[in-house]
Structure 1
Amino acid sequence: MGIFKKNPFGHILFLKKWLIRIMGALTHSRYNGFNELQIEGSEILRNLPDKNVLFVSNHQTYFADVVAMFHVFNASLSGREDHIKNIGYLWQPKLNLYYIAAKETMRSGPLARILAYAGAIPVERTWRAKGKTVNRQVKMSDITNIGKALDDGWVITFPQGTTTPWKPIRKGTAHIIRKYQPIVVPIVIDGFRRSFDKKGIRIKKRGILQSMVIKEPLVFDYENEAVESIIEKLEYSIEQHDSFLKVIPESELKAEEDLNEMRRWSYKEKKS
């Protein structure tokens, strides 16, 4: 790889590689130290083509979710089976890996701008801007950039467009699926909201059992399937459909925390 070789967005791959290595080393203990990340589905990642793959996931923090995916994806592609031990997988990271993020979020500070260079595809939200509700047209350049990233590699998106659970899937994701016909792989995450603050930068609580479940690719009739049908499949696949919503009593929440604590100690004993 030439030292000044660039990706389709003009990012120098040599710099991107070192950014992923450094940021990966700095964040590794957040998922394999302070907290434990339980992974399912590594073998699915290894069976995917090198490009035109769209990952859809529920969203819990601005940055910690996607950073965890960078770890899991690279560890899995390096042959690790459902774990991210031994960060040697960061030495040759997957460089054609991108994620869709709100433009205002990726311009919110120096750290966000650094993380953007690792693979962000900044888009303007059509429904929200600076904390206020808006109603604006989709920018065609944003759609084009997503297509450009899919043509080059893998793209991560959070189709609800917010870290608030149970919000509806945005229709834009369905239109992207129909237009570019990618392989669509659902991911369900949990524990990140309890582990980190909303931005996913500050560790809020330690000893949390985080989880990431990578599911088999969805099946679509790209030519004929209605947008509403695609959205419903996405909602079920990332477990954000209304049917998953229920009121959890305080006693059940306490039982869940106790189970989480038991799993944490069990996991640590298994490691030792």
Structure 2
Amino acid sequence: MPLDILGLFECDPFGNSLLFRRIIIGLVGWLTYARYTVVNRIQIEGTENLENLPINNVLFLSNHQTYFADVIAFFHIFCAVKWGFQNTLLPPVYLLGPRARQYYVAASETMKKGIVPRVFAAGGALTIERSWRAEGREVQRAVDNSANEKIAKALAHGWVVSFPQGTTTPYAPVRKGTGHLIKNNEPIVVPVVINGFRRAFDKKGLRFKKRNTLLTVQFKEPLQFGPDDTVDDIVAKVRHAIEQDAPEWVQ
């Protein structure tokens, strides 16, 4: 549209206003900023690997420690990188113009529990029905075939954060759906390793558990995949890159 110079009327592929998304992300950012810089300390590494990435078809794969604190930290960092910051969130001027083309994969049951998760969902959640787990129990149900379609649409529009283990349990197996997603969409895959979030926050990532905790977020160089890599090969590379190869004492 000729009047859409500032993106005021732009929508994402799911029909959601990007202006509204920016407002939500900025609001959540201001409300949570002190959690990462005052109450706790965040150490960021590797944002130089993000500076020259395209605006779309980038998939961030990370280990998972809380439902929401991890994702919010990523959104802070992505917005800061947009403003040219490198490995820092200081000062928080980046929240005046947050990045809206960012999404994260989340279990639909998690995003329906309370007002706060519903607000977070409006900030770019790609909700999926997990086929292996529900309400904290192991289950077996039909695979959510709409999941890959949602993620593919989001990748065509921007950056997507996914937690390929599908759980906050350390050393859980990487789901093969991640391998299929990579083979089918061929995104740039950036592995991320986080630590400290489990110590600092409760499982949901909304309440403090221990203050003055060092939170670390490391962005590694994009992974390289060959045309002959199988789904199992891709899964193994991802598991190793996000440092979730189970040690002997776990096995």
Q: After TM superposition, is the score higher than 0.5?
A: yes
C-alpha distance in 2, partners of 1:134/1:229?
Answer: 26
Closer, same or farther in 2 for the Cα pair 1:45/1:2, shift >3 Å?
A: closer
Shift of 1:132: 2.3
Which of 234, 240, 246 in structure 2 is aligned with 1:236? 240
Which of 33, 38, 46 in structure 2 is aligned with 1:41? 46
Residue of structure 2 equivalent to 1:209: 214
Deviations 1:88-118 (A, max 9, x none): 1111211110000001001111111110010
Shift of 1:2: 4.8
Shift of 1:59: 0.2
C-alpha distance in 2, partners of 1:9/1:193?
Answer: 32
Residue of structure 1 equivalent to 2:230: 226
Residue of structure 2 equivalent to 1:92: 97
Q: Indicate conservation of the 8 Å contact 2:193/2:219, yes or no.
A: yes
Superposed structure 1 runs of 4+ greater than 6 Å apart: none
Deviations 1:24-61 (A, max 9, x none): 00100111000000000111111111100000000000
**In proportion to residue count, which structure has more helix?**
1
The higher radius of gyration belongs to 1
Which of 144, 148, 157 in structure 2 is aligned with 1:143? 148
C-alpha distance in 2, partners of 1:130/1:35?
Answer: 30
Q: Indicate conservation of the 8 Å contact 2:130/2:144, yes or no.
A: no
Aligned length: 245
Shift of 1:3: 3.5
The percent of aligned pairs where both chains have the same amino acid is 50
C-alpha distance in 2, partners of 1:17/1:140?
Answer: 29
Residue of structure 2 equivalent to 1:262: none
C-alpha distance in 1, partners of 2:187/2:142?
Answer: 24
Residue of structure 2 equivalent to 1:197: 202
Amino acid paired to 2:243 = E
Amino acid paired to 1:180 = N
C-alpha distance in 2, partners of 1:50/1:14?
Answer: 17
